[in-house]
Amino acid sequence: MELDSRLGLPMPAYRGRSLANLASTLWAVLGREGTDPPPLPPLDHHIDPFQGRRPEGPVVVLLVDGMGWSGLLGSAHRVPGGTASAWLGRAHPLTSVFPTTTTIALTSLSTGAAPAQHGVVGHRVYLPQYGAVVEVLRMSPLGENASETLVGPGWSPSVLSAVPSVFRRGVTGVALSRDQFEGSGFTRLIYDGAEFAGYFTAGDLARSLVEVLSRSEPPPLIFAYWDDLDLAQHLRGPRPGLIDLELERVDALLASVARRLEPHVARRTTLLMTGDHGQVPMEADRQFVVDREPDLLTHLSRPPAGDRRAAYFAARPGHLTTVREILERHVPPGGHLIEMPTAVESGLYGPPPFHPELSERLGDLLLLLPSPGGMSYTVPGSRPRRHPMRGAHGGLEPAEFLVPLVYGSLSEFALGAPGSAHLPTEPPSGGRT
């Protein structure tokens, strides 16, 4: 990974080796002529699964939430000849985007845009038109118990993102995700223009995938989302044995799909598997609990936004120096407190053209804390978490920042055939864009 000379931090490789570039590659091989390309370039040629050629059959992109490159490497070393070892034979590492959070990464994977371009810059984002910090997955103001309170009849994805999805750029597709997510604001954003098919269990996901691929004319692109690995790591921490078991479950799911398809369909289907981030351990006594800092809160213009591991602070007019001084006292060795204009100029959030509300959404200061630390803020009167969070993501440590891109035909991928892709020994180079 390349470090930014001013920040001393690894940079997302938006020029061709990040998760966001995968969407541009999909558009390049599946999109209709006459439509405009996504803002970011496609993947670098030597890691392009298609090498610029249109695939023979449908393409399935399986996003395994919480699957990081480090987790895959660790599993391959622990279980020689197992699932991860087979996958690594046809894998390359990519950087995620920043922050390394699901809402941001999935929006970039959908649009082929960097966070600074599409505008979804946090798990919690300040949206000026509502005058509130909004939890993007729930599309409700922070502290509001009900979900989707901002999604009214006139709501559209443009409320969140300034960049259309690849489906709106002429790529015909189907999205397979949890049935409970159907119709939510975030689902409407990332799958805008695609057909939605909900599933309930792992077996139901496999059945749904078989049904879509068995159509007389299957769609060129299928996005499938699986989140059990992420949930398990949040609740139990990124335990090695847990990661091994969850990867084996995904492998079994894919093998089940391949066995139930006509052999020629499985051979013609390209499978791309990737992750949005990995996870790092969390410890309750290492958290910076903002709601226990009344001196800080009185100087903020709104609640902290961003993510647990990449927090945003906006100061009241004339109070920035005081906010900075208070936060500096809470930055441990290995942490960073960065002026937001510097973070944007460095390329952390990607190149221009920037979302017109970017500076308002980000605020004044970015706080990065080393694992197992993080930042938490709970609105007074809201319900506490039922289970403590033992794993998290959002920052720039390798375990959360690097993700795999694993690819092959569905039949080879699922049946564990020897990989043919070159396995690089170095992670992707970043750099300012």
Q: Domains in the chain, start-ordered, CATH in brackets?
A: 19-281+395-415 (3.40.720.10), 284-392 (3.30.1360.180)
Collapsing DSSP states into helix, strand and coil, what is residue 80? Answer: coil
Share of the chain above pLDDT 90, in %: 88
Distance CA 308, CA 295 (A): 20
Q: pLDDT digits over 342-398, tens only? A: 999 999 999 999 999 999 999 999 999 999 999 999 888 777 777 889 999 999 999
Is beta strand 402-409 parallel, antiparallel or unpaired with respect to 91-95? Answer: antiparallel
Q: pLDDT digits over 18-77, tens only? A: 999 999 999 999 998 888 999 999 999 999 999 989 999 999 999 999 999 999 999 999
Is residue 99's pLDDT more than 60? yes
Both tokens assigned to 21: 């570039």
* pLDDT given for residue 418 in this prediction: 39
- What angle is formed at CA 23 by the lines to CA 17 and CA 25, rounded to 5 degrees? 70
Which of 33-37, 156-160, 422-426 is predicted most confidently? 156-160
Is residue 15's pLDDT more than 90? yes
Distance CA 365, CA 318 (A): 14
Is residue 225's pLDDT more than 60? yes
* pLDDT given for residue 379 in this prediction: 86
Q: pLDDT digits over 267-277, tens only? A: 999 999 999 99
* pLDDT given for residue 57 in this prediction: 97
Collapsing DSSP states into helix, strand and coil, what is residue 62? Answer: strand
Is residue 305's pLDDT more than 90? yes
Q: pLDDT digits over 227-248, tens only? A: 999 999 999 999 999 999 999 9
Reported as a pLDDT band with limits 50, 70 and 90, residue 414 is low
Mean local confidence (pLDDT), 419-424: 37
Distance CA 377, CA 383 (A): 12
* pLDDT given for residue 433 in this prediction: 35
Distance CA 361, CA 349 (A): 12
* pLDDT given for residue 385 in this prediction: 75
Contact 116, 33 (CB under 8 A): no
Mean local confidence (pLDDT), 299-320: 98
Is residue 5's pLDDT more than 80? no
* pLDDT given for residue 425 in this prediction: 38
* pLDDT given for residue 283 in this prediction: 96
Q: pLDDT digits over 103-119, tens only? A: 999 999 999 999 999 99
Average predicted confidence (pLDDT) for the chain: 93
Query: What are the CA-CA distances from residue 243 to residues 61, 65, 228, 367 (Å)?
Result: 20, 12, 10, 29
* pLDDT given for residue 58 in this prediction: 98
Is residue 140's pLDDT more than 80? yes
Contact 176, 197 (CB under 8 A): yes
Contact 357, 116 (CB under 8 A): no
In 3D space, the residue among 230, 221, 250 whose CA is nearest the CA of residue 23 turns out to be 221
Mean local confidence (pLDDT), 76-96: 94
* pLDDT given for residue 70 in this prediction: 97
* pLDDT given for residue 6 in this prediction: 81
